[in-house]
Structure 1
Amino acid sequence: MENAIAVDDRLDRARALVTALETGDEIKANLVIKSFSAPADHDLFHEVGRLTRELHDAIVGFATDREVTRVVQHEIPDAAERLKYVIELTENAANQTLEAVEFSIPVSEELASVAKKLAAEWDCFCERKMELTDFRALSAEIGDFLALASNHSEILNKKLTEILLAQGYQDLTGQVIRRVINLISDMEEKLVKLVAISGDARQREVDKSQCDMEGPAIPNIEQGEMIGNQNDVDDLLSSLGF
């Protein structure tokens, strides 16, 4: 029923427009043309007002949200300290690992060098190219090498254990980093919602001439009627019925 009435109304205005044009009445023709665009302007104004209200409420809610306040005042500083702690643990583990490796390299090189020398002498013995006195010396060297190998094996085992224990930092740092990631994800979700509302409002904002607001007041600059704070914004929206 309403659609039929709207159609009849548009037809009547169309006939009035044709009549005005035929009679040369430009003033009446302009009034009829404006009457066609008036409902669309009203709908656009209403939609922009609604979106502005949503954005305003989102900004106010974001600023007064206890969770946001807690995050800003406690979680973010805490996250910074946690990341510093991760850096400290990682640095300490890296230093311990490097020290253990640097200490172990000469130990393993000495074992390899002595073993290579004994292997060459042992080959001579197996090929029956060694005198008895040389064999006695070789026997003594083998005894010394066994003692050296036992001592150096203990050293290497100790250093490898230190390296292994140093890697335990990964469990702690992993937990810390996961908490920081959760914090960032939570803040990202809140900001994305705010930006989404802002972006929607921007896409539908009306021409500047349709709005009396000229932005925040700037000292010593004449800019007409200004919106001073969030309360002014709220009052303006309420006065407009949003």
Structure 2
Amino acid sequence: MNDLSNILENATPADDAGDVSDVSSDRILARIGQLTRTLRDSMRELGLDQQLQAVAQMVPDAHDRLKYVVTMTEQAAERALNAIELAQPLQEKMHTDARLLDDRWAHWYEVPLARDDASALIADTRSFLKQVPQSAEATNARAHSGTTTLRSANSPMATTVPTADGCNGSR
């Protein structure tokens, strides 16, 4: 390294301007090559070359695993959003029907209705109450299908993940 420093320190202004002589260039390149070989040999003697190869092989494997997790999470999130979109109309209908019934009951408390109108209000309320469990079950089923998939994709439990060599490993 001192040789390279000496060459660079002893460079003339003409060298800085781009007129480097072929001899100086050859010496610099030769010295860089020599330093590279020395570094490689030193790494080999210390056993770092094998560790470096192992680390280099782990990077694609980690990349493949991360890519798999990202893909599975994306798919699960998509399913969860689809389940929410499917359940939303059921929830909106229940909300609207409940509001309408509440308004009708509030009106009845203010001004009692005739018997036939009161009977219709009671029948509509009972019909709504019978539909609530069905709507809730449908909503839960749709939401459960999306969130179960989302949870299993992100689960730290033993999940098979493809490795770089094509085999499945467990996380």
Q: What TM-score, normalized by structure 1, do the two folds share? A: 0.44
Q: Percent identity?
A: 28
1:113 to 81, 84, 96: 96
Tell me whether 1:124 sits opposite 2:107 in the alignment: yes
Q: Give 1:61 shift.
A: 5.2
Give the Cα–Cα distance (whole angstroms) in 2 for the partners of residues 112 and 61 of structure 1: 75
- Does residue 153 of structure 2 align to residue 169 of structure 1? yes
Match of 1:206 in 2: none
**2:62 corresponds to 1:66:** no
Once the two structures are superposed, residues 172-205 of structure 1 have per-residue CA deviations (whole angstroms, 9 ceiling, x without a partner) of 49x99xxxxxxxxxxxxxxxxxxxxxxxxxxxxx
Number of equivalenced pairs? 123
One-letter amino acid of the structure 2 residue matched with residue 109 of structure 1: E
Would the alpha carbon gap of residues 135 and 169 (structure 1) be closer, same or farther in structure 2, given more than 3 Å must change? same
State the alpha-carbon separation in 1 of the partners of residues 140 and 130 from structure 2: 16
The 8 Å contact of residues 104 and 156 in structure 1, kept in 2 or not, is answered as yes
User: In 2, are the aligned partners of 1:114 and 1:145 still within 8 Å (CA)?
Assistant: yes
Contact 2:69 2:154 in 1 (8 A): no
Whether the 8 Å contact between 2:84 and 2:142 is mirrored in structure 1 is yes
Pairing 1:12-31 to 2, within 5 Å after superposition: none
Q: Is the Cα–Cα contact under 8 Å of residues 104 and 159 in structure 1 kept in the other structure? A: yes
Shift of 1:162: 2.7
**What one-letter code is carried by the residue in structure 2 that aligns with 1:147?**
K
Partner amino acid, structure 2, of 1:94: A
Contact 1:97 1:162 in 2 (8 A): yes
Equivalent residue for 1:80? Answer: 63
SS in 1 for 2:155: helix
Alignment of 1:1-242 (within 5 A): 55-60=39-44, 65-73=49-57, 75-165=58-148, 166-172=150-156
User: Which deviates further from its counterpart, 162-171 or 121-130?
Assistant: 162-171
**Distance in 2 (alpha carbons) for counterparts of 1:56 and 1:107:** 68
Superposed structure 1 runs of 4+ greater than 3 Å apart: 52-64
Q: Say if 1:101 and 1:61 are closer, same or farther in 2 by CA, change over 3 A.
A: farther
